[in-house]
Amino acid sequence: MAADIEQENADVIVIGAGVAGLFAAVEAAEMDASVVLLESQPEIGGSSRLSGGYVTLCETELEPGSRDELLADLDEAHHHDSHFELSRVYTENSADTYLRLKDLGVEFIGTMHFSHMSKPWAHEPGGIGGGAELVLKLEKAAKRRGVKILASTRARRLVLNEQGRVTGVEVSQDGSINVLRARRAVVLTTGGFTRNPELIKEHGKAGAEKITPLTGPGSLGDGLLMGRDINAATTYLDIGVAPTGPVDPVMNAMSLVNYKGAILVNKNGQRFCRESDVYLDLSWAGLKQPETLMIQIYDAAIRRDYMQWKLAHVLGLCRETKAGTLEELGAALHASHGVDAQGLRRTVATYNRYVEAGRDPDFDRTHCVGTAGDLRPLLEPPFYAAVLVPGTTHFNGGLRVNRNMQVINAQGDIILGLYAAGEVTGGFHGAGYMSGSFLGSSLIFGRIAGKNAADEIARVV
Ligand SMILES: Cc1cc2nc3c(=O)[nH]c(=O)nc-3n(C[C@H](O)[C@H](O)[C@H](O)COP(=O)(O)OP(=O)(O)OC[C@H]3O[C@@H](n4cnc5c(N)ncnc54)[C@H](O)[C@@H]3O)c2cc1C
Q: What percent of the chain has pLDDT over 70?
A: 97
Contact 221, 241 (CB under 8 A): no
Distance CA 21, CA 223 (A): 12
pLDDT at 240 over 90: no
- Residues with CB under 6 Å of ligand 1 are 15-21, 38-41, 44-48, 50-54, 131, 154-155, 189-191, 214-216, 218-219, 222, 254, 315, 393-394, 422-423, 436-440, 442
pLDDT at 5 over 70: no
Q: pLDDT tens digits, residue range 190-213? A: 999 999 999 999 999 888 888 999
Q: What is the mean pLDDT of residues 63-77?
A: 97
Ligand 1: centre distance to CA 437 (Å): 12
Fold adopted by 2-240+394-458 = FAD/NAD(P)-binding domain (3.50.50)
Ligand 1: centre distance to CA 446 (Å): 12
pTM of the model: 0.93
Contact 428, 83 (CB under 8 A): yes
Ligand 1: centre distance to CA 221 (Å): 11
DSSP state letters, 197-218: HHHHHHHPPTTGGGPEE-S-TT
Q: What is the mean pLDDT of residues 29-40?
A: 97
What atom in ligand 1 is closest to the CA of residue 49?
A: 29
Distance CA 197, CA 131 (A): 25
223 or 244, higher pLDDT: 223
Opening angle at CA 400, ends 405 and 277, nearest 5: 100
Ligand 1: centre distance to CA 170 (Å): 22
Query: What single-letter amino acid sits at 296?
Result: Q
Residues with Cβ within 8 Å of residue 118, at least 6 apart in sequence = 65, 69, 72, 73, 371
Ligand 1: centre distance to CA 215 (Å): 7
Distance CA 10, CA 8 (A): 6
pLDDT at 458 over 80: no
Q: What is the mean pLDDT of residues 275-292?
A: 92
> Where in the chain are the domains?
2-240+394-458, 245-392
Ranking 308-317, 338-347, 358-367 by mean pLDDT, the lowest is 308-317
Q: pLDDT tens digits, residue range 162-184? A: 999 999 999 999 999 999 999 99
pLDDT attached to residue 279: 87
pLDDT confidence tier of residue 1, bands split at 50, 70 and 90: very low
What atom in ligand 1 is closest to the CA of residue 16?
A: 34
pLDDT attached to residue 210: 85
Ligand 1: centre distance to CA 61 (Å): 27
What atom in ligand 1 is closest to the CA of residue 311?
A: 8
Q: pLDDT tens digits, residue range 127-174? A: 999 999 999 999 999 999 999 999 999 999 999 999 999 999 999 999
Fold adopted by 245-392 = Flavocytochrome C3; Chain A, domain 1 (3.90.700)
pLDDT attached to residue 461: 37
State the burial class of residue 436 (Cβ atoms within 10 Å of its Cβ: 0-12, 13-18, 19+): buried
Distance CA 84, CA 79 (A): 11
Q: What is the mean pLDDT of residues 327-349?
A: 98
Contact 408, 90 (CB under 8 A): no
Closest C-alpha among 65, 75, 71 to residue 113: 65
What atom in ligand 1 is closest to the CA of residue 438?
A: 11
Ligand 1: centre distance to CA 38 (Å): 14
Bond preceding residue 249 cis, omega within 30 of 0: no
Q: Say if 2-240+394-458 and 245-392 have the same CATH topology.
A: no
pLDDT confidence tier of residue 3, bands split at 50, 70 and 90: very low
